[in-house]
Structure 1
Amino acid sequence: MTSTRRMPIGDAVDRLMRDGLPVRFTAYDGSSAGPPDAEIGLHLRTERGLAHLMTAPGDLGLARAYASGDLDVTGVHPGDPYDLLVLLKDHTRFRVPPPSEAFAIARGLGLTHLRPPPPPPQEHLPRWRRVVEGLRHSMTRDAEVIARHYDVSNRFYERVLGPSMAYTCALYPTAEATLEEAQAAKFDLVCRKLALRPGQRLLDVGCGWGGMVRHAAREYGVRALGVTLSLEQAQWAKEAIDREGLGDLAEVRHLDYRDVLETGFDAVSSIGLLEHVGVRNYPAYFAHLRDRLRPGGRLLNHCITRNHNKRQETGAFIDRYVFPDGELTGSGTIVSAAQDAGLEVQHTENLRVHYARTLADWNRNLATHWDECVAEVGEGTARVWGIYMAGSRVGFERDEVELHHVLATRNQDDGRSSFPMRPDW
């Protein structure tokens, strides 16, 4: 009996590329592919990494190998692999071999590698298995997936997000603005769009670490209530409110927005929550927020959007590693849902380019504080955050995703909205 000769991994990579690799690829078997003088490289360290790539072709397999430490990057910092992702996106074209050739490649690499290894601990269950946690976007399941993403470590987020602890798109008033200045400008823009004044009541749903609540209370003198599904966020926010002496004006509760029963708010802000709600739940979401407002009150919805309004599931990497159950759609769908709930949409604005800049600053923070972040959450999680933020930056730069403000009013029964003839912010 003759043994099957193993195919060098680098040769297999070459055969699967239409125009070659733009980076240097090396593998544990000593083989390689791509230009020898490339400044950026990928190194496959283990057979387990090969099995990840063979059993989950595409971004999921790459994510598994990378998060497991079986695939390393060279020439870029793991906290900011932006340059690598741009190269791969612009210059990598895979070819789909015919079945006979695909089998020959798999056999050459070793059919034993077609047995999937256990995924890294950072990976969440696939959508079809999450039914055991409850229906998609039920309160129970939403609480679990939100905790999985946000209850990572407040210390980790402090290093990545900076002192503002704002995990949403900033607003850069000038090209020279710092991340902190841009986050303050974002909160201030929301306050001005909502026309906040001293003594008014604000509800901030999905309040995160309380940045909007504290800004509105401190700078505009409003009584602000924030709610979040993340216990760690709520605890951090309460401590920040106490440190800043805002306890008489600001409050954060560990609560689902659907459990807020108070009404008569002058304004409602929702900054980065709608991505977690689910498109089919938009009618109930906007109806609930409308009912929290007094007649004449304003709602500002800030969320990531697609550049179209067609149905599109989130990619496997984002769904399994970053935002389980997250759903995006176009701003047109959001506007329609708000109108159908009885709100008058007064203004929309696309802040896409600002989110690309925000993500670049977060990546820079992660790279700068890499050792501290790894010590806090482990290298696998830090790697996932680095590649997720850099990949998202590419998406915003290329208009694959956008960021929209939708400003709406709950009008009086006679149609009066208390909105000025022209936007006044």
Structure 2
Amino acid sequence: MIVPNISQNAVAVADHYDELDPIYRRVWGDHVHHGLWATGRETPEEAVEALVDTVGDRLGLTPGQACVDIGCGYGSTARRLAVTRGIRATGFTLSAGQARYAVAHPVAGVDVLVCDWLANGLADASVKAAWAIESSEHMVDKPLFFAEAHRVLAPGGRFVICAWLAGTDASSWQVRHLLEPICREGRLPSMGTREEYEAMATAAGFAVTGYEDVSRRVARTWLICAARLVKAVLVDRETRRLAFGGRNRNSFLGIPRLILAYRTGAMRYGIFTLAKVKPA
């Protein structure tokens, strides 16, 4: 597990997203996660929605199911799946700024709460499906992240995780100059490998039913974000203020590191499909 040399916690994660809220929506858009390209001809918006639809397919969602979006950001994934699959979803975010945006863009069947997933308060076996798109990285206690998902899922329920992962064979140079700084600058308390994620999932009681490495299909996200950020800095005063004078300004250093981390294989992007096995 890669751990940053400056400890990150839930307060730091919330502050990061609250302060940089205007930049995130300008640079990343409402979904705040990678796009998934199949042909390379998709627009960034189409690629982002393709990742959401891939998660919905792996979950096997059916109308009326109660679901949870762990680390829901602006609630856009939950809204899309509510509209396209007919599910009901409760989203959890640490960011009050993200929750305000979600409330201002309501969709029937979707609720967004400002609440730490590690203390979510949901009843045992109360939901049929759960997903976490690029939020597990922000969890201070990753074994508890898995354990809580297992607890709230009903038997037979599925859990899909899209995660930034450390390459299994990352060199000491890659850890020191790419992965550790990415964790520190991105407010990630830790970054695990595929093998560590699967071990934590199994320890929590899940069966690992699928895994796909889609690193090559998502990596261009960062070139797009870099271009958007440069443009925003040039034309928008608030972006310049946050990028050069904000508390979280060092976060922007992570973009070139992320581009290089993907190109060198130091970092991977994986989609896990887990199942809570029904008792015999």
Once the two structures are superposed, the pairs formed by residues 42-61 of structure 1 within 5 Å of their partners are none
Equivalences for 1:133-282 in 2 at 5 Å? 141-142=9-10, 144-162=11-29, 165-241=30-106, 246=107, 248-263=108-123, 264-278=126-140, 281-282=141-142
Following TM superposition, by how much is the alpha carbon of 1:240 offset from its aligned partner in structure 2, in angstroms? Answer: 1.7
Query: What residue ranges of structure 1 are gaps of 5+ in the alignment?
Result: 1-124, 131-135, 415-425
Deviations 1:129-186 (A, max 9, x none): x6xxxxx6xxxx41x1112321124322222113xx2222211122111110000000
The 2-side partners of 1:208 and 1:372 are apart by 25
User: In the aligned structure 2, how far is the partner of 1:307 from the partner of 1:179?
Assistant: 25
* Cross-structure match for 1:10: none
How many pairs were matched up?
Answer: 268
Aligned partners of 1:373, 1:208: CA distance in 2, in Å?
23
CA distance in 2, matches of 1:374, 1:353: 34
- What displacement does 1:292 show? 0.8
Q: What secondary structure sits across from 2:137 in the alignment?
A: helix
1:359 aligns with 2:222: yes
Q: For residues 306 and 168 of structure 1, what CA distance do their matches in structure 2 show?
A: 17
Q: Is the 8 A contact 2:128 2:154 kept in 1?
A: yes
Match of 1:393 in 2: 259
Higher relative contact order (CA 8 A, sep 6+): 2
The whole-number CA distance in structure 2 between the counterparts of 1:319 and 1:192 is 30
| TM-superposition CA deviations, 1:364-396 (whole Å, max 9, x none) | 211232234443351416974554212201111
Supply the RMSD in Å over aligned alpha carbons: 2.4
Residue by residue over 1:199-228, the C-alpha shift from the partner in whole angstroms, topping out at 9 and shown as x without a partner, is 011101111111211111111110011010
Using the alignment, how far apart are the partners of 1:271 and 1:401 within structure 2? 16
User: Which of 191, 194, 204 does residue 331 from structure 1 map onto?
Assistant: 194
Deviations 1:17-36 (Å, cap 9, x if unpaired)? xxxxxxxxxxxxxxxxxxxx
Instruction: Output the CA distance in 1 between the equivalents of 2:91 and 2:270.
Output: 21
Cα displacement (A) at 1:283: 2.5
Identity rate of aligned residues, in percent?
A: 24
TM, length-normalised to structure 1: 0.59
Q: Which amino acid aligns with 1:174?
A: T
Q: Is the 8 A contact 1:309 1:329 kept in 2?
A: no
Asked if structure 2 preserves the Cα contact closer than 8 Å seen for 1:366 and 1:373, the reply is no
| 8 A contact 2:67–2:88 mirrored in 1 | yes
Kindly indicate whether residue 160 of structure 2 is the aligned counterpart of residue 295 of structure 1: no
- Of structures 1 and 2, the larger Rg is shown by 1
Residue-by-residue CA offset, 1:253-306 (whole Å, 9 max, x unaligned):
11111222224211000111211224xx33322111101101110000111001
Cα separation, 2, equivalents of 1:375 and 1:293: 42
> Secondary structure of 1:151's match?
helix
| Structure 2 length-normalised TM | 0.87
